[in-house]
Amino acid sequence: KPGEQKHPKEPSSLQCMHLAVVACGDRLEETLIMLKSAVLFSSSRLCFHIFAEDSLKPEFEKKLKEWPSSYAKKFESNIYPITFSVGNAQEWKKLFKPCAAQRLFLPVILKDVDSLLYVDTDVLFLRPIDDIWHLLREFNSTQLAAMAPEHEIPKIGWYSRFARHPYYGSTGLNSGVMLMNLTRIRSTQFKNSLIPGGLTWEEMLYPLYQKYKNYITWGDQDLLNIIFYFNPECLYVFPCQWNYRPDHCMYGSNCRGAEDEGVSILHGNRGVYHDDKQPTFRALYEVIRDFPFEDNLFQSLYYPLQSKFLDTVHTLCGRIPQVFLKQIEKTMKKVYENRVIVYLGANHRY
């Protein structure tokens, strides 16, 4: 009955893969295309947690309602205002990109969520979220978050050349794709450079920002690098194909995992979906954007992608189309096989 349960969404949420994103400014379309890629390929139910400026909320609600019922039943969505639980809200808002620091507060805000995948708005899933979600099972007893390195090669990495603050490992971390066990984050005392003892996640954020604010360039990502520099045992590092950026191919191919397995999650940072600098990234974005939901995946997504890629072979990233296509091809075959099996199974009953 209504009102009897404290958290009405909890039963379905328990079977959910939780996906969080923070959208401000002109990121509405980008966010919707990211969510679309998640729904297109994933097989388990998704719970979207969208943190957005008030002006974007009605737009998100309207657009998500327009998705056909066959896809709408695969997810539920919650839209939240932008809020910062500690420190100065205006300061947090201005840190790096508008509202990006919101992601630091997810463990505090989503108190009923056990685990979560956070992604930037400029991310595209090229295989089911189920596959990255399963990495949670690989965490050892001290690990509570997973990210990929910022770069594979220290001599051309940003942190190794320019950072003026502590950072994780030899090349730092990129936080555009971050898998989190929120329950563990909430219950851990973190080592830090502020006091000799440990601090909780929430206690640590603002003092850490105050201490390093004159040295950080990439906002919340730098703060996460500082946190995991002091707490390396808390981090699970996943390979570059789970957060594949232009840096992995624009200086020559340097993500071995993507060469072997294909790109799993594409991260179009540097604005590459919207300019002509990396046409391979832009082609993927546009094909997923323009794909009519109910159409055949091979005809209306895979083949247009192949033909668009032919126009990008003159670029360094475009020389390795199989890296971008491998996982999509695999995923679509799986989706197709599942549908055929379901269809045949249904026919056999009569």
Are 78 and 107 found together in one domain? yes
Q: Quickly count: other Cβ atoms within 10 Å of residue 141's Cβ.
A: 7
Residues 6+ apart with CB under 8 A from 336: 297, 298
pLDDT digits (tens, 9 = 90+) for 179-218: 999 999 999 999 998 888 899 999 999 999 999 988 888 8
Regarding whether 247 and 174 lie in a shared domain, the answer is: no
Residues 44 and 119 in one domain: yes
Residue 11 in any domain: the answer is: no
Same-domain status, 232 and 296: no
The number of distinct structural domains making up the chain is 2
- CATH code, domain with 214: 3.90.550.10
Q: What is the pLDDT of residue 10?
A: 37
Whether 1 maps to a domain, the answer reads no
What pLDDT does 340 receive? Answer: 74
Q: What span, in angstroms and rounded, lies between the C-alpha atoms of 302 and 27?
A: 25
Q: pLDDT under 50 in the chain at which residues?
A: 1-13, 349-350
What pLDDT, on the 0 to 100 scale, is given for residue 151? 87
Is the residue at 298 inside a domain?
yes
Last residue of a domain, one of 220, 238, 256: 238
**199 and 91 co-located in one domain:** yes
| Structural domain that includes position 271 | 241-345
Is the same domain home to 328 and 280?
A: yes
Residue 313 phi/psi, 5-degree rounding, is -65, -15
Same domain, yes or no, for 88 and 184? yes
Claim to verify: residue 137 and residue 249 sit in the same structural domain: no
Per the domain annotation, does 194 fall within a domain? yes
Same domain, 231 and 247: no
Q: Does residue 7 sit within a domain?
A: no
Regarding whether 260 and 139 lie in a shared domain, the answer is no
Cβ atoms of 181 and 144 within 8 Å: the answer is: yes
Q: Give the SS3 label for residue 260.
A: helix
Q: Does residue 10 lie within any of the structural domains?
A: no
User: Among 238, 256, 288, which residue terminates a domain?
Assistant: 238
Same structural domain for residues 89 and 209? yes
Q: Determine, yes or no, domain membership for 6.
A: no
Chain position carrying tokens 């249904």 = 346
Both 52 and 191 in one domain: the answer is yes
Domain C-terminal end among 238, 265, 292: 238
- In this prediction, residue 347 carries a pLDDT of 55
- Could you tell me where the beta strands, DSSP code E, fall in the chain? 17-23, 46-52, 75-80, 115-119, 123-125, 145-149, 173-181, 235-237, 265-267
Residue 5 placed within a domain: no
